[in-house]
Structure 1
Amino acid sequence: MDRYSEYRIMWILVFFDLPTETQKDKKAYTLFRKNLQKDGFTMFQFSIYVRHCASYENAEVHIKRVKSFLPEFGQIGILCITDKQFSQIELFYGEEASN
């Protein structure tokens, strides 16, 4: 199989919904986001970050790393998909509301 096959290259998506009521919550939220960014993730939407990985083995390393800095509270999901699947995402952009 080709080394750069669209079925071998992976994308990790991290979805999260974290509390931000208290100062401690906000600090944990900020630290989680900064750790994602430090590990090479970029914001896809406000609570969805993505990272490109050369292989599933490489993706496993980053998934393990994300699990090592999970905050105590909130909900976090991690999804790993192939480059082919990621390329089939349909994105729609609405117009910004005017005041």
Structure 2
Amino acid sequence: MSQDRFNAYRIMWVLVFFDLPTETKVERRAANVFRKDLIKDGFDMFQFSIYLRNCPSRENANVHIKRVKNALPKHGKIGILCVTDKQFGNMELFHGKKQADLPTITQQLELF
């Protein structure tokens, strides 16, 4: 059972893409609150407007997706994408022309 628990097809990555307006003070504050809410929920910055989070299961990913939806600002464009760890591992990353490593998975402690 524990082998199935950490299967690369069961572990999920949640990616949140956003493009939020920041022309006014109110818009900048809303964008900052949204970004801070993502960080508070365990998301890490992948790029300036892309945050990601590793989840041990689809059910856990759904919990975090629901939290993101509850924190959506009034304006802007937000996308949420959920992929398996296997799919995420197929991504190729580059810094300029030099290939880069994928982000390391942080081990999460589950309490029952």
Unaligned runs of 5+ in 1: none
Tell me how far 1:3 sits from its aligned partner: 1.2
1:33 to 32, 35, 45: 35
Unaligned runs of 5+ in 2: 98-112
TM-score, length of structure 2 as denominator length: 0.83
TM-score, length of structure 1 as denominator length: 0.93
Name 2:83's counterpart in structure 1: 81
> Deviation digits for residues 7-26 of structure 1, max 9, x if unmatched?
00000000000000000000
Tell me how far 1:87 sits from its aligned partner: 0.6
Which structure 2 residues correspond to residues 4-19 of structure 1 after superposition, within 5 A? 4-19=6-21
> Deviation digits for residues 30-79 of structure 1, max 9, x if unmatched?
00000000000000000000000000000000000100010000000000
Name 1:44's counterpart in structure 2: 46
Which structure has more relative contact order (CA 8 Å, sep 6+)? It is: 1
Question: Percent of pairs identical after alignment?
Answer: 66
CA distance in 2, matches of 1:3, 1:47: 31
Q: CA RMSD in A?
A: 1.1
Does the alignment pair 1:67 with 2:65?
A: no
CA distance in 2, matches of 1:68, 1:37: 14
